[in-house]
Amino acid sequence: MESTAPMEYAHLGRAGLEVSRLCLGTMNFGPLTTEEEAHQIMDRALELGINFFDTANVYGRSVRMGLTEEIVGNWFAKGGGRRERVVIATKLYGSTSDWPNDRFLSARNIRLACEASLRRLQTDHLDLYQMHHIDRATPIEEIWEAFEVLRQQGKVIYVGSSNFAGWHLARAQERARARNFTGLVSEQSLYNLMDRQVELEVLPACRDYGLGVIPWSPLASGILGGALQKQREGRRANPSTQKRIDANRARLEAYEGFSKELGEGPADVALAWLLHQEGVTAPIIGPRTMEQLEGATRALEVKLGEVELKRLDEIFPGPGGTAPEAYAW
């Protein structure tokens, strides 16, 4: 069912920046979606009011490293206010070559990776520059100094993290505070009905420090998007996904049945559930096609009350709350 509701916006954590409640993920652009199709999807996303786009310097690597950023950059270059209306978020951490310093979060790589992303994206600044993973070998002081320089140069406006543990977030923010630096404004985490570990400590840390939560894989690699129904239609999942489907078949049957009772698609219910979680700013949707983009906006209209949320908790139990009560007293 296609949405007719206007786009909703929220502040990115404690920042003054406002972003759409759905974030357009671009990971499929290049490997699975042609550049022409990707440009059409981005144009339509703007028409739908989606102003928050997420990418990474390693996306597209199965074809060519940096390809996805190039596709987005070529779209920006078309003009028409495209760059001005988009909050562009990209990431660094992963290896971009065989050389040892073209990876992780050294001051050198932060500087050079930023310059490379700016060139590929054909822009003079990044709205949100995210650390794709924790780097245990680089001192946080070195990391913050490098980001401070980028902000002073006007090349980066906000800094975010991805795949950080709760204590990583606390350490980063406290060190930033000691330097009179803003620090992080967001954390991008694996979070969906089937993967709820972040509820233990990451989400509480984000709420306490005022970080916006950007869930990736909101459909658990498509499993929450009606996997059983798709199988009945003859569509096959890859071996690893199939293994997880088989292990959760009873829950998925209950979930898809409950979604049907609500009169909604399973994917819409999964996205709507995330939008109902305190602290979540915008789940990342990663459409391969225009149809998938159009369908995702329906989640904004799905309202889940206490009864519906309780039922979803029964089907996919979380860790039991926040730490330590979830496992102690």
User: Annotated catalytic sites, by residue?
Assistant: 59
The structure tokens listed for 157 are 């406006």
| Secondary structure of residue 30 in the 3-state scheme | coil
Ordered alpha helix ranges (H), the chain: 35-47, 67-76, 82-85, 107-121, 140-152, 166-178, 202-209, 227-232, 239-247, 249-262, 266-275, 290-296, 306-315
Q: What CA–CA distance (Å, rounded) separates 168 from 160?
A: 12
Q: How far is CA 15 from CA 43, 50, 160, 212, in A?
A: 26, 18, 11, 9
Q: What CA–CA distance (Å, rounded) separates 161 from 130?
A: 5
202, 179 in Cβ contact below 8 A? Answer: no
Local structure of residue 195 (DSSP, 8 states): B
Closest CA to 104 of 137, 141, 150, 126: 137
**Beta-bridge mates of residue 215:** 189
| Secondary structure of residue 115 in the 3-state scheme | helix
The structure tokens listed for 120 are 């590929």
- Indicate the pairing of strand 184-190 with strand 156-162: parallel
